[in-house]
Structure 1
Amino acid sequence: MTHPVVSREEWLAARRLLLEQEKEATRLLDEVRARRRALPMVAVEKDYRFTGPDGPAGLADLFEGRRQLIVYHFMFAPDWEEGCTSCSLLVDNIGHLAHLHGADTTLALVSRAPAEKIAAFRARMGWQVPWYSSHGDDFNYDFHASNDEQVAPVEYNYYDKAALERRGLHFFTKGEGHAASVFVRDGDGPDARVLHSYSCYGRGPELLVGTFNYLDLTPSGRQRHISEFPHHDRYGAASGGTCH
């Protein structure tokens, strides 16, 4: 233990100072959330095709009849035998979907791995969240969660390839990346439009990892980088994880 041990009065003074910083951060976050909600939207024109537990599906089908759709781009490339450990940590933290559904919002996972691999890994992890394969489709490339300059111009976290390389982020110029995208259904029936409202990358989806929020309350903090958390069925058998 490296933390100083002080009197209750000294601790209270330090805690009150931190409280002011926490309130300032909360107010700033409220402003960011308001600006996120107010972002303009872009109509999705392409007919994306997925394979889910019930067979072929289009992007509109992923809404399951609700108005809003949150897609987590789960890192699972076609040649991988299991999904990314960091993404798995995030999915482990998804709560009961009834609360999202009650807010007219659907959450779904999308990966480039074939549907058969997804189904096997989903069963292994014991997850119930809907998970679709975009294998052979441009969806992940168009929303910049996957990068291959043979398929589409490289872009990640709103930086092109040159900007990523200037920042030393070469590992984001090829392959899979952490990402989440939000869509809104405008209208009803077959003529309803799908609109894209928001996407975030890198550490952006980190706000969905409840484990981190708990650990951030403790003196020891997160203790590991997100990539060092193993699949939940491998604790005791591995010291960390990988996203390949």
Structure 2
Amino acid sequence: MPNRIVTRDEWLAARIDLLKEEKELTRRSDELARRRQALPWVTVEKQYRFDTDEGVASLTDLFRGRSQLLIYHFMFGPDYTAGCPSCSAIADGFNGFVVHLAHHDVTLAAVSRAPLAALQAYKKRMGWTFPWASCFGSDFNFDFGVSITLQQQRAGAFEYNYRCPYYKPHLPLTRRIWQAGAIVLAKGVRRWIHLYCLGVPRVAAMKSSGA
């Protein structure tokens, strides 16, 4: 159904009403941002290994000398022939703001389960330059809740984005599930600190809003 055609004064009145709600949403978003920044932290004691363009790397290496690390869990499983379209749309903006994050002492990196060679080929095809590491063969994605094993699916003993159980009924229980999301880590004394974690819908929202 097409929108109503009204006078300029009627349009202006409707627009002002909507503006009030938009400003309220902005205030609410600011409040949530403050609460997000005040969340408690948890230490990460486990050691992880990644394959990168520079060779085998530890979690510390992914920080690239900075104090904070923003990891985007890019959906690209070992059996994928290309990256997830939604993740690719989000990652298209990484080249632009990775430099700005670096100026604020934050390193941005993507991590996927696919072998490094597959990631490098897709990265070249897409014209991306941001760091992208493979966690193939490690528990990293499983530990942070973005990869789900067949055993977890059968038992219903898993969650995604803090909901349990999370499942996709249209997918047969014959394959592992790879999900998207993001985590923020900070360097502590001889260990790393997990600051924040979010699912992919919130990643897209933060990207569009600059939150």
Q: Quick check: TM above 0.5?
A: yes
Kindly state the Cα deviation for residue 155 of structure 1 after the two structures are TM-superposed: 1.6
**Structure-2 residue corresponding to 1:207:** 205
1:141–1:151 CA contact under 8 A, matched in 2: no
1:88 is aligned with what amino acid? S
Deviates more, 1:147-156 or 1:76-85: 147-156
In the superposition, relative to structure 1, how do residues 65 and 171 fare at CA in structure 2: closer, same or farther (>3 Å)?
farther
Q: What is the distance in 2 between the residues matched to 1:183 and 1:149?
A: 28
2:9 is aligned with what amino acid? E
SS at 1:123 equivalent: helix
2:198 is aligned with what amino acid? C
SS at 2:97 equivalent: coil
**Structure-2 residue corresponding to 1:225:** none
**Structure-1 residue corresponding to 2:135:** 134
**Structure-2 residue corresponding to 1:185:** 187
Q: What is the distance in 2 between the residues matched to 1:59 and 1:171?
A: 35
In the superposition, relative to structure 1, how do residues 21 and 177 fare at CA in structure 2: closer, same or farther (>3 Å)?
same
SS at 1:106 equivalent: strand
Provide the identity percentage.
45
Q: What is the distance in 1 between the residues matched to 2:206 and 2:63?
A: 20
1:142 is aligned with what amino acid? D
In the superposition, relative to structure 1, how do residues 61 and 158 fare at CA in structure 2: closer, same or farther (>3 Å)?
same
Kindly state the Cα deviation for residue 204 of structure 1 after the two structures are TM-superposed: 1.6
Alignment pair present for 1:158 and 2:162: yes
SS at 1:155 equivalent: coil
2:205 is aligned with what amino acid? L
In the alignment, structure 2 segments of 5+ residues that lack a partner are: none
Q: What is the distance in 2 between the residues matched to 1:49 and 1:76?
A: 18
Deviates more, 1:37-46 or 1:170-179: 170-179
Q: What is the distance in 2 between the residues matched to 1:98 and 1:202?
A: 22
Kindly state the Cα deviation for residue 202 of structure 1 after the two structures are TM-superposed: 4.2
Kindly state the Cα deviation for residue 42 of structure 1 after the two structures are TM-superposed: 0.8
**Structure-1 residue corresponding to 2:71:** 71
Q: What is the distance in 1 between the residues matched to 2:150 and 2:6?
A: 57
In the superposition, relative to structure 1, how do residues 208 and 26 fare at CA in structure 2: closer, same or farther (>3 Å)?
closer
SS at 2:72 equivalent: strand
Deviation >3 Å, runs of 4+: 149-153, 169-174
Q: Deviations over 1:74-98 (max 9, x none)?
A: 0000011111111000001222322
Kindly state the Cα deviation for residue 201 of structure 1 after the two structures are TM-superposed: 1.1
Q: What is the distance in 2 between the residues matched to 1:134 and 1:171?
A: 27
In the superposition, relative to structure 1, how do residues 171 and 198 fare at CA in structure 2: closer, same or farther (>3 Å)?
farther
Q: Deviations over 1:15-47 (max 9, x none)?
A: 100110001101111111111101111110110
Kindly state the Cα deviation for residue 177 of structure 1 after the two structures are TM-superposed: 1.4
Deviates more, 1:129-138 or 1:150-159: 150-159
Kindly state the Cα deviation for residue 205 of structure 1 after the two structures are TM-superposed: 1.2
2:182–2:200 CA contact under 8 A, matched in 1: no
In the superposition, relative to structure 1, how do residues 66 and 159 fare at CA in structure 2: closer, same or farther (>3 Å)?
same
1:73–1:110 CA contact under 8 A, matched in 2: yes
Alignment pair present for 1:84 and 2:84: yes
Q: What is the distance in 2 between the residues matched to 1:25 and 1:125?
A: 35
1:93–1:208 CA contact under 8 A, matched in 2: no
1:10 is aligned with what amino acid? E
In the superposition, relative to structure 1, how do residues 32 and 107 fare at CA in structure 2: closer, same or farther (>3 Å)?
same
Kindly state the Cα deviation for residue 178 of structure 1 after the two structures are TM-superposed: 2.0
2:138 is aligned with what amino acid? D
**Structure-2 residue corresponding to 1:99:** 100
